[in-house]
Amino acid sequence: MQYKKKLIWLLIIMALVTIAQTVVPYKPSWTAVYADYIFVPYQSFRNLLFGWSQLSFGDLLYLALGIALIALPIRWIYFLFTIRKNQSRLVHSFFNTAIVASVVFLLFLLGWGGNYYKPSLTTYWGMNKDEWKPDSTEILYERFLLEQLNEQAKGYTPLPFKQVRRKGMDYYKQYTDCKARLHGLNIKPSIYGFLMQYFGIQGYYNPLTGEAQVNRFLPSFMLPFVVSHEMAHQAGVAAEDDANLVAYTVSIMSGDPTFKYSAYLNMWLYNHYRLRRKDSVLANEMRARLNPLTVHHLDTLRQIRERYKNEFDTYTTSMYDVYLKMLEQEEGIGSYNEAVATAWAWEQADSLHRRKKIRIP
């Protein structure tokens, strides 16, 4: 009976989790309700709560969770070795951990998880992704991106983080209709920037605090696109290929040469990788047409990869791949480069170009 209250609380929280997992995924009409009346107000509230400082509270939270994951098993092992006098403490610790884990998962579902069940941007924007023909469209898009990179490189200017952050927020306000654009967007430099280099992480969205963090050691030419990508998550875009598409379209519509250059470069990296896997000779011929500035930037990326190459990158990539697949993203980590098809479809859709606002579900 001494565990009755904790058992009741655990059952209540698990019931709420079950309801949340049942209603949104299997009731498509509820995703709009979730987005407008749960996610957006909650995202705006979290940004007001944590956005006053450039310190990442999400980073600190993950640090605390990491310490707890190490300390808890040690504590339980000690209790097991002293089970006669610590049996009650061990059971209480199990219940407390289960309750905390359930609350964290519930907050994840309410503050972020429901976004994974929104319609894809391809569907929401009425685009025909089937027009993408792997054997020919990759070459067409490669040529298009080469032309754009060579043109935008003329006006490219490296910008400091604060300026990229401010411009990114302004462009979301001007060129999107996302309801979180007024109070829910904010980018912070992660305190784990150095470690993120080794893990191959450019940025991440914290689903518990609603903060978006970027690797502060990123090259300046990558920063605008990565910042725009993480802001897309804050706007409620969950799928990685959709977040890439939003970052791409916002950057292009902004008319800012630096943002456009970063968007074209990042999309070229995805498209060139696909082309190179199929025809390395053609890919090398196309690459030779790049302007000197972009060639220098590609060399910079190569040097960074070589400097920080390690086994941890492989492990973190595999773990994130599993995480994405668990959250209904069938392509897993491969979903990032799926945006090349939708970006090309967007480029071909004149009706989407004429829209003054990018629509975000």
Chain segment 223-253, per-residue pLDDT in tens: 999 999 999 999 999 988 899 999 999 999 9
Q: Is 257 exposed, middle or buried (0-12, 13-18, 19+ CB in 10 A)?
A: middle
Domain hosting 325: range is 121-354
Domain check: are 110 and 216 in the same one? no
Residue 99 counted as domain residue = yes
Domain check: are 258 and 175 in the same one? yes
Assess whether pLDDT exceeds 60 at residue 351.
yes
Residue 311 counted as domain residue = yes
The number of folded domains in the chain is: 2
Domain check: are 165 and 109 in the same one? no
Residue 200 counted as domain residue = yes
pTM as predicted: 0.89
Assess whether pLDDT exceeds 50 at residue 176.
yes
pLDDT at 333: 46
Bridge partner list, 46: none
Residue 162 counted as domain residue = yes
Domain check: are 322 and 249 in the same one? yes
Domain check: are 294 and 276 in the same one? yes
Final residue before a domain boundary, out of 117, 144, 164: 117
Assess whether pLDDT exceeds 50 at residue 217.
yes
DSSP 204: E
pLDDT at 156: 96
> For 7-56, what is each residue's pLDDT tens digit?
888 888 888 888 777 776 666 677 888 889 999 999 999 999 999 999 99
Residue 165 counted as domain residue = yes
Domain check: are 233 and 107 in the same one? no
By mean pLDDT, which of 73-82, 123-132, 181-190, 262-271 is the weakest? Answer: 123-132
Domain check: are 49 and 156 in the same one? no
**Three-state secondary structure call for residue 52:** coil
Assess whether pLDDT exceeds 90 at residue 322.
no
Domain check: are 112 and 144 in the same one? no
Domain check: are 112 and 146 in the same one? no
For 121-165, the DSSP string reads HHHHTT--GGG--TTTHHHHHHHHHHHHHHHHTTT-----HHHHH
